[in-house]
Structure 1
Amino acid sequence: MMDFKSSPHNPDEDYDQVPIDFSFVLASSVHDMKNSLGMLLNTLSAMVEASPPKDAQQAKFFSTLEYEAARINGELVQLLSLYKMDEKTLSVVIDEHHLVDVIDEQVARNDALLKSRNIRIEVDCDPDLAWYFDAELLGGVLNNLLVNCARYSRERLLIVVREENGFLSISVADDGQGYPESMLMGASNQAGVSFQSGNTRLGLLFARKVLSLHKSRRGQGYMTIENGGPLGGGVLTLHLP
């Protein structure tokens, strides 16, 4: 009679054989960080409301905290969205929306940030103008633009919405120093670019991806970047078919 002896089962041996999907792990971590950062932003906003800054220096300190937290939160959301695009699990819901509603929502979302930096924002949009697009994704692009422009503007931002040649154009102009030459060149050839030295290229990549998801018989969405414009700074325009 043969004696079969089994060795103790070690569960760790099973886990050692399972390949790690690093992109999934990263996406899960980013999701948790985004939620934590969202709570931090809400707490910061409540704190500033309960205890307003006592002087200009303190106001600038709170403004910097809010700007950086909002910027990082936006980039985390964009990372998750790009991951879902790559996995083809992102839901794109194209429906008719009034442009002024979507823009007003993003302006209100950044009201505290804009006020803390003494930036006045103007919106030139026909209240009856409606278009077909994913309001959540386009709103994310606009939010990212406002957060970034809040850093580089001196005191004014202008959003102009027009229907031109069968496309909807949404221009965000500022009165800052304008976009760097490398960014102007990158926008035309779809190369990776950044808003300024030190910033990631994620915002523009996200914007281009979102615009490319909007297609019709006229073509697909795209964006243009230039300097000058109505306020003498930079102008970034989103074009939707």
Structure 2
Amino acid sequence: MIDDNDMTSAKDSPLDFAFVLASSVHDMKNSLGMLLNTLATMMEKSPPQDDEQTKTYAILEYEAARINSELIQLLSLYRMQHEHLLVQIDEHHVIDVLEEQLARNDMLLRTRGIQLEVDCDEDLSWYFDGELVGGVINNILVNCARYCRNTLQVSAKIIDNELCIAVADDGQGYPPSMLAAPHEINAGVSFSSGSTNLGLLFAHRVAGLHRSREQHGHIQLANQGPLGGGVFQLWLP
């Protein structure tokens, strides 16, 4: 026989919605990863035959990559908030991290006809979490692939004892609301554009996890970059 007190306790016990959501996001991420792999295989075996098919493939690849990136960011932010995310700072050759993300988005960039410029000394190394920083770069590449016209530039260099990783495009630049976002990271969502600023929040949090003495990482957005459009900068101490 079930005690009435037990039933009342079950009804009153709070639902950890954040945990349920995180579990669901994890499952969706795995399924979407399989979809991305299948899509890449399909495009390799059946290349686009005309401009219309190329455009269709590009849209499919972009949307799937964007959703997958956002799901990974959601999971990472959840783990950051609940202190389950271990930051693994190690020395990395920066060019290896950049090329890994470029290879990851090779099909997306090729189907959209985007040319790449990479400016990074092959001997440049720095201490940071390669997975988290790679995730930030991946997200920026996916977003820039949509808004640039023809060219993306990825660069890395040391400026004033900080590593600056930059992604510049030849698009129309960032809107004013996004330029303010790194300084107003809780600016909220835009229902007109569909922007949640999730990518910037993720980049902001990842940058902040990198500290050296009194310095900590940060991000910057600007327009009129080296290609005439917007430029995203990730600064790591």
TM-score relative to the length of structure 1: 0.92
Partner of 2:108: 113
Aligned residue type for 2:230: G
Structure 1 segments (4+ residues) deviating >4 Å: 193-196
Post-superposition Cα deviations, 1:46-66, rounded to whole Å, max 9, x if no partner, equal 111111112110111111011
Partner of 1:94: 89
Partner of 1:4: none
Partner of 1:174: 169
Q: How much does 1:199 deviate?
A: 2.7
Larger Rg: 1
Partner of 1:128: 123
Choose which of 5, 9, 20 in structure 1 pairs with 2:2: 9
Partner of 2:41: 46
**Mapped partners of 2:111, 2:209: distance in 1:** 35
- Runs (5+) with no aligned partner, structure 2: none
1:211-222, aligned counterparts within 5 Å? 211-222=207-218
3-state SS of the aligned residue for 2:75?
helix
1:199-238, aligned counterparts within 5 Å? 199-238=195-234
**Mapped partners of 1:223, 1:172: distance in 2:** 12
**Mapped partners of 1:46, 1:106: distance in 2:** 18
Choose which of 58, 64, 80 in structure 1 pairs with 2:59: 64
1:156-175, aligned counterparts within 5 Å? 156-175=151-170
**Mapped partners of 2:61, 2:12: distance in 1:** 44
Q: How much does 1:72 deviate?
A: 0.4
**Mapped partners of 2:41, 2:187: distance in 1:** 37
1:143-154, aligned counterparts within 5 Å? 143-154=138-149
Equivalent pairs counted in the alignment come to: 234
CA contact (8 A) 1:161 1:168 kept: yes
CA contact (8 A) 1:183 1:193 kept: no
Q: How much does 1:160 deviate?
A: 1.5
CA contact (8 A) 1:166 1:218 kept: no
**Mapped partners of 1:57, 1:88: distance in 2:** 47
Partner of 1:23: 18
**Mapped partners of 1:193, 1:169: distance in 2:** 27
3-state SS of the aligned residue for 1:187?
coil
Structure 1 stretch 94-103 or stretch 52-61: which is displaced more? Answer: 52-61
**Mapped partners of 2:194, 2:17: distance in 1:** 26
Identity of aligned residues (%): 59
Structure 1 stretch 184-193 or stretch 143-152: which is displaced more? Answer: 184-193
**Mapped partners of 2:32, 2:63: distance in 1:** 11
CA contact (8 A) 2:181 2:200 kept: no
**Mapped partners of 1:192, 1:79: distance in 2:** 17
- TM-aligned CA distance change 1:141 to 1:174, over 3 Å: same
CA contact (8 A) 1:193 1:204 kept: no
Partner of 1:5: none
3-state SS of the aligned residue for 2:123?
coil
Post-superposition Cα deviations, 1:68-97, rounded to whole Å, max 9, x if no partner, equal 011000000000000000000101000000
3-state SS of the aligned residue for 2:86?
coil
Aligned residue type for 1:86: Q
- Runs (5+) with no aligned partner, structure 1: 1-7
